Amino acid sequence: MTDRRYVLGGAMVLAGAAAVFLLREVVATVFFAMTVAYVLGPVRERLRRRGLSRRLSAGLASALAFLAVVALIIPFVVVLVVRLDEAIRFLESIPESVTLSAGGFEYTVVTAEVSAVVVEWLVAATTAVVAAAPVLLIKLVLFAFVVYGLLYHRSRTRRAVLALVPVGHRDLAEALHDRASETLYGLYVVQVATGAATFLLALPVFILFGYPSPIALATLAGILQFIPVLGPSVLVVGLTLYEVALGDVAGAVGILVVGGAVIAATPDILIRPRLASETAALPSTLYFIGFVGGVLTVGPIGIIAGPLVVAIVAELATRLSGELNLIRVEEEAGEAESTAVDTADRGEPSDTVDRDDPTGAANRDDPSGHGAH
């Protein structure tokens, strides 16, 4: 039976690889749905404990995921379609060149070419989004169906995965499950909540300072929360340089102080610590490597896949290190025992105490050291 189980598991792996190859256009959507279902598992269980049926609890959790994704998409649609003209006017308002002077030297920075490239990219992105709207809608529906299916059959899926793991190694599977849950919680719940809070805090700041397209800037600030280490501070610094280029020193100081305090610092001080206690303690360096490597390798889905893979590798490295340290301790114990035996064979005094004569009285009565017989 065991051999049959492993054969079926191997066949499933091969079939899964073939499915990934044939359905590669929707692999990112399915992976995204799987990770979301992973995070919504506890939500579904809580609804079940409140008396809801399995179908209804899975449906409500899936609807929550669907609405959350739609809420994330809407700002992009507003920026790229509705507010595109305002964004272009904002970029065109930047001076064509800025002259910097220091120590008697002057250097002119030409910004017109950069602005033209950004405007061209925005127009191309808008055209691509409008053309791909039907495909995006189909993927959104597929996302909802996959999340619902995984939540509805959550227990069956868990049992099927654990059945492929030998009994003696299921603690490792549980450890990887816990690390994946904590990492995905940190990526979705903490980062999304912090990004949403950043959007809400940044919007009134940008309106107060009179920037065109405040919704676009606030959306960008929320998205930048997903970038480790840097975050929305990049946007604040960029706007500060923009004010300097316009010659408005007071505005530059204002956006640097107010934006730095409200947009960059407040979400990390007030929101992230309240939610971070449930997340995996993944160092910022590893998270940054996973984020950048994932985005550069597989595109936007790498925002989730990169840190998740790095977290799993870190957990496996920790487990392997523990196993190797355990083996080293056992080897040292064996070497100590071997040394004690060799010492006894040579008749040399040993530091160990005789269990039958813990006080050493026999040796004190017999000067020869042979003890009483």
Q: Which residue has the higher pLDDT, 284 or 152?
A: 152
- Are 187 and 279 spatial neighbours (Cβ–Cβ below 8 Å)? no
Q: What is the DSSP letter of 110?
A: E
Note the pLDDT of residue 369: 45
Q: Which residue has the higher pLDDT, 261 or 1?
A: 261
pLDDT, one tens digit per residue, over 230-249 is 778 888 888 888 887 777 78
Range ranked top by mean pLDDT from 109-118, 208-217, 231-240: 231-240
Note the pLDDT of residue 278: 53
The CA-CA-CA angle for residues 291, 21, 32, to 5°, reads: 40
What the block records as the tokens of 30 is 């399915």
Note the pLDDT of residue 355: 45
- Are 67 and 98 spatial neighbours (Cβ–Cβ below 8 Å)? no
Q: Which of 260, 306, 304 is nearest to 286 (CA)?
A: 306
Average pLDDT over residues 131-147: 88
CA 290, CA 282: separation in Å to the nearest integer?
A: 11
pLDDT class for 60, splitting at 50, 70, 90? very high
Q: What percentage of residues in the chain have a pLDDT greater than 70?
A: 77
pLDDT at 338 over 80: no
Q: What is the CA radius of gyration of the chain?
A: 31
Average pLDDT over residues 208-234: 80
pLDDT, one tens digit per residue, over 152-175 is 888 787 777 777 677 777 788 888
Within 13 Å and on the Cβ side, how many CA atoms surround 158? 11
- Are 350 and 343 spatial neighbours (Cβ–Cβ below 8 Å)? yes
pLDDT, one tens digit per residue, over 308-321 is 888 888 888 888 88
CA–chain centroid gap for 46, Å, is 24
Lowest mean pLDDT across 102-116, 299-313, 339-353: 339-353
- Location of structure tokens 């899926």: 157
pTM of the model: 0.67
Q: Which residue has the higher pLDDT, 42 or 323?
A: 42
Mean pLDDT of the chain: 77
pLDDT class for 364, splitting at 50, 70, 90? very low
Note the pLDDT of residue 367: 47
Q: Which residue has the higher pLDDT, 172 or 94?
A: 172
Q: Which residue has the higher pLDDT, 93 or 203?
A: 203
Average pLDDT over residues 130-150: 88
